[in-house]
């Protein structure tokens, strides 16, 4: 199937075979070695560690002692709602009867 070696093979082009069967021509795709190689899924790198058995990890002491600046506290506040905003308002617009009965002008 595929060589697992690190040696890269030169790119090759495979011609498609055209077959005639019962007065119909169709093309049978031929897969090159490179296309077959690209179709394989990537392997997990050996340096990647497996998931931790316990979802806990240490936090740096400097991170535990960090203090937020006044500007950071200001930016952390939620944005106020715009004037006239209603919490339980319908998401659909109401079209007036006059707008529904209007005729386009020339």
| pTM beyond 0.75, yes or no | no
- For the chain, the DSSP string reads ----SSPPPPP---PPEEEEETTEEEEE----HHHHHHTSPPPPPTTSPPPPSSS-----HHHHT----HHHHHHTSPPPPPTT--TT--SSPPPPHHHHH-----
pLDDT value of residue 68 = 94
Q: What is the average pLDDT across 6-12?
A: 60
User: Which tens digit of pLDDT belongs to each residue from 53-106?
Assistant: 777 778 999 999 999 999 999 999 999 888 888 888 887 888 999 999 999 888
- CA–CA separation, 106 and 56 (whole Å): 71
């Amino acid at each position: 199937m595929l060589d697992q070696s690190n040696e890269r093979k030169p790119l090759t082009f495979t011609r498609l075979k055209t077959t005639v069967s019962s007065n119909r021509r169709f093309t049978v795709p031929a897969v090159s070695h490179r296309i077959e190689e690209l179709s394989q899924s990537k392997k997990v790198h050996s340096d990647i560690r497996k998931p931790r058995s316990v979802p806990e990890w240490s936090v740096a002491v400097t991170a535990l002692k960090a203090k937020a600046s006044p500007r950071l506290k200001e930016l952390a506040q939620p944005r106020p709602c715009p004037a006239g905003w209603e919490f339980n308002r319908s998401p659909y617009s109401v079209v007036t009867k006059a707008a529904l009965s209007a005729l386009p002008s020339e």
